[in-house]
């Protein structure tokens, strides 16, 4: 099974971990798999957060067939 690299950009409370992190997963992994992998280093806040590309928040069932650049968005508080 081939592997893919997903770069995750950090915002808000995740900034303490730097600007971004890259993880390697099996091709065909979905958003839930990415969040599970991230929670090992970023902690429980991942579960209240969502993953997004440049256009939209991705549903947990969204599948990655190739490399991707995403953002992890913790709970928001604009205004």
Q: Does 13 bind other proteins (CB under 8 A)?
A: yes
| Residues contacting 53, CB < 8 A, separation 6+ | 68, 69, 70, 71
Instruction: Return the number of the residue (14 or 64) whose C-beta is nearest other proteins.
Output: 14
Binding mask 40-59 for other proteins (x = CB under 8 A): --------xxx-x-xxxx--
Q: Is 69 in the site for other proteins (CB under 8 A)?
A: no
Burial class (CB in 10 A: 0-12, 13-18, 19+), 39: middle
Minimal distance, residue 44 CB to other proteins, in Å: 12
- The tokens of 13 are what? 């409370």
């Amino acid at each position: 099974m081939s592997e893919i690299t997903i770069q995750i950009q950090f915002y808000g409370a995740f900034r303490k971990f730097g600007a971004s992190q890259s993880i390697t997963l099996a091709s065909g992994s979905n958003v839930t798999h990415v969040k599970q992998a991230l929670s090992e280093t970023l902690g429980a806040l991942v579960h209240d957060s969502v993953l997004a590309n440049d256009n939209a928040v991705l549903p947990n069932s969204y599948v990655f067939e190739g490399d991707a650049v995403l953002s992890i968005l913790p709970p928001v508080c604009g205004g």
